[in-house]
Chain A
Amino acid sequence: MSNLSVLIEAPILLVQLVVSGILVGAIFALVAYGMALVWGVMNIINIAQGEFVMLGGYVVFYLAGAGVPPLLGIPIAAATMFALSFALYRAVIHRIVGRDMFVSILATFGISILLQQLANQLFSADIRTLSSGLPSLSFDNGMISIAGVKVVGFVAALVVGAALFLFLRHTRIGRAIRATAQNARAARVLGIDTDRVYATTFALNGAICGAAGGLVAMTWFVQPYLGLTYTLRSFMIVVAAGLGNLPGVIVAGSALGVLEEAAGFVLGAEYQTAFIFLLLIVLLVGRNLLLWRQRKYLR
């Protein structure tokens, strides 16, 4: 808590926390957008979301080890995760589309344990870091310093987000995805192959997570157990923003980034994850209580 007084005496640090939070928030928003896509189109909450991020991170990490620059590794990670998620859809996910929510949550939870433990066996539990080779940017005589890699991550997240937006808006399959999200039955009647749409959506989500994973590996580190925090962060952002609300997702992602940076600074790093999850519960209970006045509940 002593850091709180530091913050009050030097409000300039707050600026650093906010800027840094907004920059990393874009990566959270990217993962959350993928989750919202799968949730909205297939009505599945993908608990393995964070594990896709983790695997994307490992792809970039090992590519960097082989001499590929991280920024070039990101599209490769996205492509790899696209293929892996597509395979996962064909193996498991297509059997749970349209089934009870309990089945889809528990099945994707199983997948998340599977991927996490596989990563643990194959890549070991060590924390892997990747040096981006980018300098830190300093402002105001060094009072504020922002890691250059966060700026790059932010821009890359925006680029991927914009590409996704244009894809969904203007391509044929993108339109089919949106039509299926609105009404899967009507889409089938009109001749859309919804199974293919689901496969594409799920694989697309994998690609988004793979790209985000590369950014995560560049900004922080990769480790087999980091998945669940990303899953819950995305869930939280989607709950706060609502499905199919891209600006909302960006705002909620940035807000979460800022809150997390501030909490990590004030409470200390050991309570940072606890803080995120507590925030999740508070958010869910709070939103639910607001709806409860009209005798409604979160759906």
Chain B
Amino acid sequence: MKRRSDIALLAGIGVLGVVAPWIAPTIVTQLAFLWLMILFAVTWDVNGGQMGYNSFGNVFFFGIGVYVCALIQRNAGLPYYPALFIGTALGGLGGLVAALALGPAILGIRGHYFAIATLGLSIVAADVASAWEYIGAASGLTLPQFPGAIGDRNRFFYYLLFALAAITFLAARALYRTRLGLAMNAIRDNEDKAEAMGVHTTRTKVFAWCVSAFFLGAAGGPVGNLVGFIDPRDLAFAGATFGVWMVLMAVLGGKGTLWGPVIGATIFHVTQELFWTYLLGWQRVAMGLLIVVIVVFFPTGVVGWLSRLRHPRKRLQSTTIAESAP
């Protein structure tokens, strides 16, 4: 019964996603970014929430995807669509390779140290990207023109991002139902015990990071093209916006749950689009305040709050971040 309602919900969201650009044609770009935010939150939660490895630098993989796709489009000499699709795929692969190469070393670090090492990683990437002439340095890269009408352009990238977000969510959902998903949760709850029980911890951690990195990298290409211009600090390696939002959205919705990141990303993005412009330059101040308030007062997020409403006596166990072992 539960499974059936679950599938009905997914199908409903799917239908909504397909018809949305026809219902609200004026906000197609914003809707495309909504799917991007959902993808960000879900991929962050794969290693942050489910595995307890709170990365502050996952935007690194997104940036790699943005640049790989842009370079393929600039240098490969292919027509527009093949270049875009090959670039998107290679962007995902680029993220995956980066995670595979860095994973074994960086994922060996735990707790605070991991969080800060990944924060450093994304800043190094932003600095290097803004100093490296070959990829445009600080003046950025301009992407090729979309061959078609402007309305078609936004709709095209909307569907591309919608498809990517849907695949990401379904992949994460499938992953959490396998033994590997359980192994990830075991690592979050107690890594030493998990290892003693025979979980291949390093392999599992690297795999989960690769999953995140692949989808983030693949999202890079379409986003770069949708915006049309790549700025190393404001788009590709945007640690101060995308990098922080990823974490915040997942925590807002409820980290370590399947639907939490989706809910968090939706609430966050809608709020941002509706109210943010009224703040007149104080948006980022409000962002800092929001982070503090959410983290200090609502660490279990919307999903945790709902489940406490439904089961007032039962305490949330593994998903409670406030109580987990240091």
Contacts and interface: CB of A to CB of B under 8 A. Distances in A.
Interface of A: 43, 45, 92, 95-96, 99-103, 105-107, 109-118, 120-121, 228, 232, 235, 239, 270-271, 273-274, 277-278, 280-281, 284-285, 288-289, 292, 297-299
B160 interface: no
A92 B127 CA distance: 32
B51 to A, nearest CB: 12
Contacts of B285: 114, 117-118, 121
8 contacts: A100-B324, A106-B251, A106-B291, A232-B119, A277-B124, A281-B117, A281-B120, A297-B108
Interface residues of B, number: 44
B296 interface: yes
Interface residues of chain B: helix, strand, loop or mixed (majority): helix
Contacts of B288: 110-117
Contacts of A298: 109-111, 113
B250 to A, nearest CB: 11
A109 B299 CA distance: 15
A299 B326 CA distance: 10
B282 A271 contact: no
B289 A110 contact: yes
Interface of B: 54, 56, 105-106, 108-113, 115-117, 119-121, 123-124, 127-128, 130-131, 240, 244, 247, 251, 281-282, 284-285, 287-292, 295-296, 299, 321-324, 326
- A-B interface, 5 closest residue pairs, ranked by CB to CB distance from nearest: A114-B288, A110-B291, A113-B288, A274-B127, A110-B292
B108 A288 contact: yes
A109 B106 contact: no
Nearest to A270: B131
B296 A107 contact: yes
A103 B322 contact: yes
Contact of B322 (A100, A271, A288): A100
Nearest to A96: B296
Nearest to A120: B284
A101 B106 CA distance: 18
Contacts of B244: 109, 113
A292 B130 CA distance: 35
B291 A45 contact: no
Given A43-B326, A100-B321, A277-B120, 9 more contacts: A45-B112, A101-B326, A106-B295, A109-B56, A109-B291, A121-B281, A232-B116, A273-B123, A297-B109
Given A107-B296, A113-B287, A297-B110, A285 B131 contact: no
Contacts of A289: 105, 108
Given A284-B113, A289-B105, A95 B127 contact: no
A295 to B, nearest CB: 9
Interface residues of chain A: helix, strand, loop or mixed (majority): helix
Given A113-B287, A114-B288, A121-B285, A239 B127 contact: no
The CB with the most chain A CB atoms within 10 A, among B112, B121, B281, B326, is that of: B112
A113 B291 contact: yes
A93 to B, nearest CB: 9
B284 A110 contact: no
Contacts of B112: 45, 101, 105
Contacts of B117: 280-281, 284-285
A194 B178 CA distance: 46
Nearest to A280: B120
B321 A103 contact: yes
Contacts of A285: 105-106, 108-109, 117
A95 to B, nearest CB: 5
A107 B292 contact: yes
Contacts of A228: 123
B124 A274 contact: yes
A149 B58 CA distance: 40
A102 B320 CA distance: 12
B295 A107 contact: yes
A274 B233 CA distance: 13
A103 B282 contact: no
B298 to A, nearest CB: 11
A105 B54 contact: yes
A24 B154 CA distance: 51
